[in-house]
Structure 1
Amino acid sequence: MEIMPLTTKDVKSLLALYRRVTADLKRNGVKQWDFLYPNWFVVRGDLKRGTAYGLRDGKHMIGAVVVDDRQSASYGELPWTLDGARCIHRLAVDPAWQGKGLGKKLLQFAEEQARASGGGCIRLDVYSGNPGAAQLYERAGYKQVGAIRFPMRSEPYFAYEKAL
């Protein structure tokens, strides 16, 4: 399975993946995503900018990640130590495919994309109520630099960075 750039033709399959992941998170008591996010506008923007990448099993989208240089305004409050940041957003693996190393594969791909675009480091945020996601990043060498809050979210998000 090869990770490929996604296009605006992939909007429905990417949204369907995010809905499956959202439902699974909810079943597991993780209130990270909901009907408000990720939404059509966010996904369409990622696709139009050419920053979304996906992994398919045939026509079925089973994983995705976004790599760009768009940072939340909340990131400005944090004590970052590295320069030349690229960011990872919305890394997701279909629940039926979890536990097969695809999250790690998507993360490594995102790091390669960031490096290829001249990035000196990766920044990202992880919902504090999703310890599995935080473990993925920590095992990959990401260091927590602080926490931020987003509107309409009850728990903080941990901010991480890693030198490339």
Structure 2
Amino acid sequence: MPSIRLLQPSDSLVELTTLLHRAYASLARMGLNYTAVDQTPETTAQRIQGGTCWVATHGASLVGTLLAQPTHAKSNCEYFTRPGVACVHQFAVDPDHQGRGLGRQLLQLAEQWAADRGYTELAMDTAEPATHLVELYGRLGYRPVGSVQWRGKVYRSVVLSKPLVAGITPP
């Protein structure tokens, strides 16, 4: 079973970026140009600044990751700038480890992180055509609250949010 911990300065951003590429490859095959499909390690580093990044490891390999960020001061997604809303980005599980609850564990950590800091919601976005992801997040308590068209993306994203209760571990 993989273990989850905070990203360490000694962790390889090249390996983390490669994990993102593997996890998002099926979405790329659907024609969806998510940033994580082909981002560089430098982009990975930029995206994790100001957030809390967890990684899941199996042996010496990175097999999952999730980035939680506080309310954005400025964003093309207005929902991410609402007071009390924290956000999830760069959420990925290696295809060989999907379907085993690892993604759920990563999300629960982010939900607890946000609730412990007084956030009332945890939000994320995903491509509207990725209906399997929209349905998965719906089963985990996330509900559509809007949409956004990110610059350079060939798809529109659905914005999803889950209400949080401070001090209570989400189910």
- TM interval, shorter chain, is 0.7 to 0.9
Corresponding residue SS for 1:73: coil
Q: Which moved more, 1:88-97 or 1:18-27?
A: 18-27
The residue correspondences of 1:16-31 to structure 2 (distance < 5 A) are 16-27=18-29, 29-31=30-32
Report if the CA contact (8 A) 1:86-1:122 is conserved. Answer: yes
Corresponding residue SS for 1:100: coil
- C-alpha separation between the residues in 2 aligned to 1:146 and 1:48? 25
Q: TM-score, normalised by structure 2?
A: 0.82
Report if the CA contact (8 A) 1:6-1:50 is conserved. Answer: no
Corresponding residue SS for 2:144: strand
Identity within the alignment, %: 26
1:84-134, Cα deviation, whole Å (9 max, x unpaired): 111111110001111111111111111111112221111111111212221
The answer to whether the aligner puts 1:90 opposite 2:112 as a matched pair is no
Residues 35 and 5 of structure 1: CA distance in aligned 2, closer, same or farther (over 3 Å): closer
- C-alpha separation between the residues in 2 aligned to 1:60 and 1:88? 22
The answer to whether the aligner puts 1:75 opposite 2:77 as a matched pair is yes
Corresponding residue SS for 2:28: helix
Residues 83 and 35 of structure 1: CA distance in aligned 2, closer, same or farther (over 3 Å): closer
1:124-162, Cα deviation, whole Å (9 max, x unpaired): 111112122212211111111111101111110001111
Residues 152 and 131 of structure 1: CA distance in aligned 2, closer, same or farther (over 3 Å): same
- In the other structure, the counterpart of 2:52 is 51
- In the other structure, the counterpart of 2:163 is 163
- C-alpha separation between the residues in 2 aligned to 1:43 and 1:61? 14
Instruction: Count residues with an aligned counterpart.
Output: 161
1:89 maps to a residue whose letter is: H
Report if the CA contact (8 A) 1:104-1:136 is conserved. Answer: no
Report if the CA contact (8 A) 2:56-2:65 is conserved. Answer: yes
- C-alpha separation between the residues in 1 aligned to 2:115 and 2:146? 24
Q: Which moved more, 1:41-50 or 1:82-91?
A: 41-50
- In the other structure, the counterpart of 1:137 is 137
Q: CA RMSD in A?
A: 2.5
Report if the CA contact (8 A) 2:66-2:106 is conserved. Answer: yes
- C-alpha separation between the residues in 1 aligned to 2:38 and 2:137? 21
Q: TM-score, normalised by structure 1?
A: 0.85
Residues 110 and 32 of structure 1: CA distance in aligned 2, closer, same or farther (over 3 Å): farther
Corresponding residue SS for 1:151: coil
Q: CA deviation at 1:33?
A: 2.5
Residue ranges of structure 2 left out of the alignment (5+ in a row):
165-171
Q: CA deviation at 1:49?
A: 3.7
Residue ranges of structure 1 left out of the alignment (5+ in a row):
none
Report if the CA contact (8 A) 1:51-1:67 is conserved. Answer: yes
- C-alpha separation between the residues in 2 aligned to 1:84 and 1:70? 7
